[in-house]
Amino acid sequence: MDSLSELQEFIGECHRCPLGDTRTTLVFGVGRADADLMFVGEAPGRNEDLKGEPFVGAAGKLLDELLASIGLHRSEVYIANILKCRPPGNRNPQADEIETCTPFLREQVRLIDPKVIVTLGNFATRFVLKTSTGITGLRGSLHRAGRFTVLPIFHPAAALYDATKRNVLMADFALLGEVLAAPDEQHEPLQAELFES
Ligand code: SF4
């Protein structure tokens, strides 16, 4: 693929896994095609499924506030999910769904080529870092996945009604701001494989 629009056209009205039969709208992803910062979440929720855009509900509002805390607007970053279609009732993604859908995410990452990937919550972090460690043990510290710097953080939805987690998210975004402000030469050169440490 040469562009995100070509990839989106290739995915089309996808029915490669059973979620294609239950979703309302496929949520491809949104943002700058050449963003330095890419967020990877879990899967569309109810609002996202209706609107076709990631993070449009209360969790999206919190993400916007967190971005504003480091001087960014969502139009300057790219936001995508592990799964592009909503699991019924917001249940957890299943292994076969992740396996079928994530080649699309890999291609998005390759095309966007961000400096930093922020993984939101357990499923995104486990996929990108190839780890079984939970988000609580990984959040707030920098990791490598191939050529990418990865910062795992709590999913904003988990912080909506938990002031402690919200404060942790604020602190992790402060770190993110520092990482993004670091000179380019501190970002490692390209390596061959996506997501391989
Ligand atoms: S979740 Fe991914 S693989 Fe499954 S139908 Fe949607 S786009 Fe296709």
Distance between CA 26 and CA 118 in Å, rounded? 22
Residue 81, phi then psi, degrees to nearest 5: -130, 160
pLDDT of residue 188: 54
Q: 101 CA distance to ligand 1 centroid (A)? A: 5
- Our CA dihedral for 29, 53, 115, 95, rounded to 10 degrees, sits at -60
pLDDT of residue 190: 42
pLDDT of residue 197: 42
Looking at ligand 1, which residue's alpha carbon is closest to its atom 6?
85
Pocket test for ligand 1, best of 8, 11, 48 (most atoms within 8 A of CB): 11
Q: Is 83 in the pocket of ligand 1 (CB under 6 A)?
A: yes
Q: 155 CA distance to ligand 1 centroid (A)? A: 21
Looking at ligand 1, which residue's alpha carbon is closest to its atom 2?
101
**Do residues 49 and 27 make contact, with C-beta atoms less than 8 angstroms apart?**
yes
Q: Is 35 in the pocket of ligand 1 (CB under 6 A)?
A: no
Q: Is 17 in the pocket of ligand 1 (CB under 6 A)?
A: yes
Q: What pTM was computed for the model?
A: 0.93
Looking at ligand 1, which residue's alpha carbon is closest to its atom 3?
101
**Do residues 66 and 143 make contact, with C-beta atoms less than 8 angstroms apart?**
no
Q: Where are the domains of the chain?
A: 4-10+20-181
Considering all CA atoms of the chain, what is the largest pairwise distance in Å, rounded to the nearest integer?
A: 46
Q: What's the CATH fold of domain 4-10+20-181?
A: Uracil-DNA Glycosylase, subunit E (3.40.470)
Tens of pLDDT along the chain (197 residues) come to: 899 999 999 999 999 999 999 999 999 999 999 999 999 999 999 999 999 999 999 999 999 999 999 999 999 999 999 999 999 999 999 999 999 999 999 999 999 999 999 999 999 999 999 999 999 999 999 999 999 999 999 999 999 989 999 999 999 999 999 999 987 655 554 443 455 54
Distance between CA 157 and CA 61 in Å, rounded? 10
Q: Is 177 in the pocket of ligand 1 (CB under 6 A)?
A: no
pLDDT of residue 182: 87
